Amino acid sequence: MRGHIICGRRLRELHVDFNELQGLPCELSALGQLRVLSASGNRFAALPEALGRLPALESLRLAANAIAHIAPAALQALHALRRLDLRANCVQGVVDLSGLQNLQSLDVSWNKIDELRLPTTNRLRQLDCSRNCLRELSLPGGRLETLCSSHNRLQNVDITLPCNVLSYIDLSTNELTQVPYWVPQARSSQHLDLGHNHISSIPSSLFSPTLSQLDTVRLNHNSLAGFPEGITAQCHIRHLDLQHNCLTSLPPNLLRHAYRLQWLNASYNQLSNLARPDQASLPLRWLLLTRTGLTDEMAWPLVLACPGLRVLQLAYNQLQTVPSRLYINQCTQPSGHTEVLAAILESPQRQLLATAKAAVAQLVRQERRSADTSAIFLQSIILATYRALGSKACCHQLNILLCHLAPADVSTDSAYLMTVAQCGGATCLLAHADRQTTVLFDAHGQGTRCVADDWDAAEGFQSHASSSWPSTARGPPPCELPSPSIRHVTLRPDDRLVVLSTAALGDALAPEAAVAEALDAPNPMAAAKRLNQAVASLVSDGGTCVIAIGLQTAASAAGAAGPGKSVHFRITTDIDDEQADEAEAYKAWEYMLAQNHKMLFNRELETLHRTLAKGKARHAASLAPDGAAVASSGTARLGSKKKRYCYGQTDEPLPSSVA
């Protein structure tokens, strides 16, 4: 049934979507100011004739109709048209839109178009011509941002250069035999999908560092037989899909230079050679290698170099073993590790400390497998951390202490080797079962003098620990790197505890006293807490950083395990239960301590009030000068914060803790 529209001439938008309209009345041409016409989901079999008399129309939506043919003159008068939506119709043959010179967005997907003629002006921004019958496509690329032309029969796609703003390219499911020449020149491209084509080779320029925004590349279901060897610079790709090709190897250059690669799918290839990665760790999170013919020697070196893997698919291969290192590499529980790496960073500058902390964490992940020995490993971390500071602050204002414990012989795990490296003031103590102490590093005399201190003394400046390197008027900051001090110790069966701390622990307690205090604690957690409290009460109100590492031989661990369970399970269970009990005990202890302090403080206040009341009464009763002395109160100054507590009359004895 034909509709009749009667409305005012000022109408700017008309929406008649999803009705039963088969056409539009001729009176519609009277709407000279109409800007938007939306008539999707109706029963139009052809473009309404009234459209040719709407010169101000900017947006035309006729999707999901039954339009089978578009006459060349039907849209020629729409010179202001910017958006045209004709998707999901039955348009066949040739579609000529070259007269729409202001067209910016065009959607003709889900039709049966054989040839599409577009305007030559560089105003087109979005084009979706997917799921048609196109064999060739030529379009301007000056302002083109999105190109979606999948599921066609394209053999050639030509875009006039430059195409510097093109960000989304989808040419999948076509008949392309090579990557279009203009793709590597689309420097703003973020998504490239060339899957399900007949491409046999990839240009090395596709992995050029000039494509800095390229995030996803899909080359799946093609005929790729090799990879370009000219990848010599960093590429920024994060998602790479290479499944269902004819690849026989993955080049090491790809893994070496794709520093952001997180998702790699090379399934359903015949990989006869999987290059060993040069880096200590790769950033891969998803690694899919299903049905690739991999053996143990080919697969595991790459897998073990990816400590951050979340998804690993190795189905339908020729693997015979699963290395135990895979569990240790991916384990998040400390019970599965055979190595310990502890670090203490100390700096009076908060920003400098945050930068160093992030740098050390990143360097540990990069260097943990690259170095041959622990000494080189720790020294590289310390020096690289100081280099990472750059010109932000003087590198002598940061103290670093690193401790690495690893089996001396990996095959037997009979003894552990402890390597300690430090730069600046730090304390490292090793406690034995007979309460003897081995001082690896003492805070006294270990600090490296900064050139800035000499500069301040010479120029008469007063340096503050919280201030960074001053302005350039005082001269450039020192650029020489400090030399780390390194100690090696082979742990013996009678070693019981390793204590790591800052210089504050050495200022508060002697090494023998610190070890005695730590060994008296029931566990390493309590030992660290005791030492921290000692520093807080004697030197610094804020305490310090203390790490206590308990040492236990394998024989004692096996003997402590009960029957019916594996040693590993029993040790893990005991540690978890012990930590839970300790946490609850500390909570109760802290609560009781707070209550006791509150009770003592209330009693002291009551004593003070009674003393003042008695003093006033005696002063009123007697005018003798001796009365004032009787009413005075005895005080004692305690604590580093100069707090004063009242303990009653002067003729009363003071408590033993104060006297």
In tens, the pLDDT along 363-385 reads: 776 666 555 566 777 888 888 88
DSSP 639: T
Q: Nearest CA to 423 among 396, 389, 455?
A: 396
* Residue 4 pLDDT > 70: no
Backbone angles phi and psi of 156, in degrees to 5: -150, 130
* Residue 487 pLDDT > 80: yes
What integer best gives the mean pLDDT of the chain? Answer: 78
* Residue 577 pLDDT > 80: no
Quickly state the pLDDT bin for 652 (edges 50, 70, 90).
very low
State the Rg of the chain over Cα.
39
- DSSP assignment of 421-453 equals EEESSEEEEEEETTS-EEEEE-STTTPPPPHHH
Alpha-carbon gap, residue 46 to 66, rounded angstroms: 8
Question: Structural domain boundaries of the chain?
Answer: 1-88, 337-464+478-551, 601-649
Most confident by average pLDDT, 2-16, 181-195, 415-429: 181-195
Q: Nearest CA to 305 among 271, 329, 323, 336?
A: 329
- With beta carbons less than 8 A apart as the criterion, state whether 328 and 307 touch: no
Alpha-carbon gap, residue 514 to 510, rounded angstroms: 6
Report percent pLDDT > 90 for the chain. 34
**For residues 507-538, b (16+ Cβ closer than 10 Å) or e, as one string?**
bbbebeebbebbbebeebbbbbbbbbebbbee
Alpha-carbon gap, residue 245 to 399, rounded angstroms: 53
- With beta carbons less than 8 A apart as the criterion, state whether 512 and 503 touch: no
Most confident by average pLDDT, 175-179, 395-399, 609-613, 621-625: 175-179
Token readout for 152 is 């066609």
Lowest mean pLDDT among 78-87, 104-113, 234-243, 373-382: 373-382
- Tell me if residue 183 falls in helix, strand or coil: helix
Condensed to tens digits (0 to 9), the pLDDT of residues 133-172 reads 999 999 998 899 999 999 999 999 999 988 999 999 999 9
* Residue 25 pLDDT > 70: yes
Most confident by average pLDDT, 82-86, 400-404, 571-575, 598-602: 82-86
* pLDDT value of position 638: 37
Token readout for 321 is 């073993």
Quickly state the pLDDT bin for 553 (edges 50, 70, 90).
low
pTM of the model: 0.55
Return the CATH fold of 337-464+478-551: Phosphatase 2c; domain 1 (3.60.40)
DSSP 303: H
Lowest mean pLDDT among 37-51, 117-131, 572-586: 572-586
Condensed to tens digits (0 to 9), the pLDDT of residues 605-646 reads 778 777 777 777 676 666 554 443 333 333 333 333 333 333
Alpha-carbon gap, residue 633 to 636, rounded angstroms: 10
- With beta carbons less than 8 A apart as the criterion, state whether 443 and 502 touch: yes
- Tell me if residue 486 falls in helix, strand or coil: strand
* Residue 2 pLDDT > 80: no
* pLDDT value of position 601: 76
Does the domain at 1-88 match CATH 3.80.10.10? Answer given as yes
Condensed to tens digits (0 to 9), the pLDDT of residues 199-238 reads 999 998 998 889 999 999 999 999 999 888 777 778 889 9
Q: Could you tell me which residue, 466 or 77, shows the higher pLDDT?
A: 77
